[in-house]
Amino acid sequence: MFEMQHGIVQQNQQAVAQFFDAQRTASQAVVDALESLRSAQEQNAELTRDAVHAYVDALEEVAPNADFSVVREQIDGNLDQLEDVQDDTWDGLLDAMADGQDSVEEYGETYGDLVESSFDSFLDAHETVAADLEDAETVEFAG
């Protein structure tokens, strides 16, 4: 009876440990997904810049006497500003996610240690009770 209870508690202890591992993995997956999204956005910004430059190049072909250097400078300036804002936004978001992930990790470790310690204490007490009962039964039968 006590062995079965002991085994069930150990299984629950393992399940809790696996839950904490899964939580850490999920948290890292979110950060990885955001980093991939950032990379895709940066590629999109490059494609947009290339497309706008190709459009200005086409205009220059159609109107070879026109000076599009000011237009090109304005477009590049605007796109540079947009990329700077996007970089700052992504940096802030990813920094906040990293800080949050660190906090969750720290909390998870502390909570996990507490839960692990509680399981260990319970199992120790369980074994002590089982041993005491076994000793009592031995004394009872001997008497």
Provide the residue range defining the domain that includes 8: 2-15+33-142
Angle formed at CA 87 by CA 84 and CA 93, multiple of 5 degrees: 140
- pLDDT tens, residue by residue, 83-93: 999 999 999 99
Quote the pLDDT of residue 116.
80
Question: What are the structure tokens assigned to 95, written together?
Answer: 């920094």
Is 24 part of a structural domain of the chain? no
Residue 86 CA to residue 41 CA, distance in Å, equals: 9
Residue 90 CA to residue 44 CA, distance in Å, equals: 15
Is 132 part of a structural domain of the chain? yes
Angle formed at CA 40 by CA 34 and CA 41, multiple of 5 degrees: 90
Local confidence band at 79 (pLDDT 50, 70, 90 cut-offs): very high
DSSP 51: H
Is 27 part of a structural domain of the chain? no
Question: What are the structure tokens assigned to 86, written together?
Answer: 């996007």
Is 90 part of a structural domain of the chain? yes
Is 21 part of a structural domain of the chain? no
Is 23 part of a structural domain of the chain? no
Q: What domain count does the chain have?
A: 1
The count of other CB atoms within 10 Å of the CB of residue 58 is: 10
Whether residue 116 contacts residue 14, with contact meaning beta carbons closer than 8 Å, is answered with no
- pLDDT tens, residue by residue, 108-136: 788 778 878 887 887 788 788 877 777 77
